[in-house]
Amino acid sequence: MLPLLLSALIGFSLESNPCDVGVTHVKSDTKLPSNCTSIIGRFLIDGSSDVDDEALISIFENVASIEGVVEIHKSKLKSARFLGVIGELTGDLLDKSLSIVDNADLVDIDVGALRSADAYVRIVDNPKLNLTNACKRLHNAIADAASTDH
C-alpha cells in the first residue's frame, strides 16, 4: 500500500523505472528483460546479426520506450516491423535515436505505435525502402516530442 501511495504522491509508478541494458549487438540469442517496458540502451543490428524481423518482433515485444539508440546498419533485413511496438524513442545527446543506413534489401519499416521521438532520426541509403507511410508518423512523433518539451 505504501509504494502505491508514494508513487501517487510523487507522480510516477515505481515500476516505470527503465532497465539499463547497455550496448547490445542484437543476435538470435538476445534477450531483453520481460518485466521492462522502458529500456535504456544502444541496439545495433548489422550484417552479422543473425535475426530476421520475426525474431526482432519477439525480442522487442514488451518494449514500449527506448532511451538510447536503435541502429540498423548494413543489415540483411527486408522489413523492420519490430519498430512498430515502440511508442517512444529518445536518443542520447551524441547520437541519433534511430539510424537506418545502407540496408540494401530493406523494403519497409513500421513505426505505427510511435507517439514521440526526438528530432535525431537518420534514414538514408536504403534503395528499396518505401517511406510513404513512415514519414508522416515520424514527423508527427517528432513534432509531438518537440511540443511537449516546451
Model pLDDT for residues 45-100, shown as the tens digit of each residue:
999 999 999 999 999 999 999 999 999 999 999 999 999 999 999 887 777 889 99
C-alpha cell recorded at residue 6: 508514494
In a domain, 2, yes or no: no
pLDDT digits (tens, 9 = 90+) for 127-138: 999 888 788 888
Confidence of residue 108 (pLDDT cuts 50, 70, 90): very high
Classify residue 5: in a domain, yes or no.
no
Place of cell 535475426: 51
Cα(28)–Cα(52) distance, rounded to whole angstroms?
Answer: 9
Q: Is the pLDDT of residue 109 over 80?
A: yes
Q: Is the pTM of this model over 0.85?
A: no
Split into its structural domains, the chain has a count of 1
Does 3 fall in a domain? no
**Domain harbouring 52, CATH code:** 3.80.20.20
User: Does 1 reside within a domain?
Assistant: no
Q: Are 77 and 45 in contact (CB under 8 A)?
A: yes
Which range marks the domain in which residue 45 is found?
Answer: 17-148
Domain contains 6? no
